């Protein structure tokens, strides 16, 4: 939305704005993980048994946003929040290699994990950070306050917009 607003203020034609938004959508990714599964269980997203097993074994999901339908899907799992964050960073390092990336960190109310994620990304990637923002209320209602995530894309798709 920010890209569309900036393009509109620069008097881009509507077709060009829509074209750029498609390119941005196709090249950005969103990943997140959770410290606790309680909200996923109570919201019916996972069964009570899976939630209990995840809690006992300290398993954290790694979830991504599927681009076509916009639904949340599993990208993996890790034992401990720290390992889940490391996997999210590794997946993005692998995908974007040495490209400069634009990153927005999102959270439920988990600033400690945001700082861990920020430092890991900064250590391994050429990154431009946007402001850290709370997750959208719709997602937050299902995931709870322990969510920590990243929206990431190549800086090149935002050329002429930043």
For the cut 90, the answer to whether the pLDDT of residue 4 exceeds it is: no
pLDDT tens-digit readout, 23-43? 888 899 999 999 988 878 887
User: How many angstroms separate the CA atoms of 25 and 81, rounded?
Assistant: 27
Confidence of residue 52 (pLDDT cuts 50, 70, 90): confident
**From the candidate CATH numbers 3.10.560.10, 3.40.190.10, 3.30.1180.10, 3.40.50.2300, the one assigned to the domain spanning 30-157:** 3.30.1180.10
Q: Where are the domains of the chain?
A: 30-157
CA 12 to chain CA centroid, Å, is 28
pLDDT digits (tens, 9 = 90+) for 91-118: 999 999 889 999 999 999 889 999 999 9
Candidates 17, 2, 33; CA nearest to 116 is 33
pLDDT given for residue 47 in this prediction? 83
DSSP secondary structure of 70-137: --EEEEEEEESHHHHHHHHHHHHHHHHTTSEEEEEEEESS-HHHHHHHHHHHHHHSEEEE---EEPPH
How is residue 98 written in tokens?
């040495």
The model's confidence at residue 66, banded by pLDDT at 50, 70 and 90, is confident
Rounded to 10 degrees, the C-alpha dihedral 159/3/154/81 comes to 150
């Amino acid at each position: 939305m920010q890209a569309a607003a900036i393009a509109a203020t620069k008097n881009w034609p509507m077709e060009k704005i829509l074209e750029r938004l498609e390119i941005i959508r196709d090249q950005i990714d969103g990943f997140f993980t959770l410290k606790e599964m309680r909200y996923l269980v109570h919201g019916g997203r996972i069964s009570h048994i899976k939630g209990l097993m995840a809690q006992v074994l300290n398993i954290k999901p790694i979830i991504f946003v599927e681009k076509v339908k916009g639904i949340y899907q599993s990208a993996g799992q890790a034992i401990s929040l720290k390992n889940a964050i490391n996997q999210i960073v590794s997946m993005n390092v692998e995908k974007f290699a040495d490209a400069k990336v634009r990153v927005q960190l999102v959270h439920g109310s988990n600033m400690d994990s945001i700082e861990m994620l920020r430092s890991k990304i900064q250590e391994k990637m050429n990154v431009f950070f946007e402001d850290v923002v709370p997750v959208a209320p719709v997602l937050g209602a299902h995931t709870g306050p322990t969510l920590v995530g990243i929206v990431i894309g190549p800086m090149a798709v935002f050329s002429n917009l930043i």
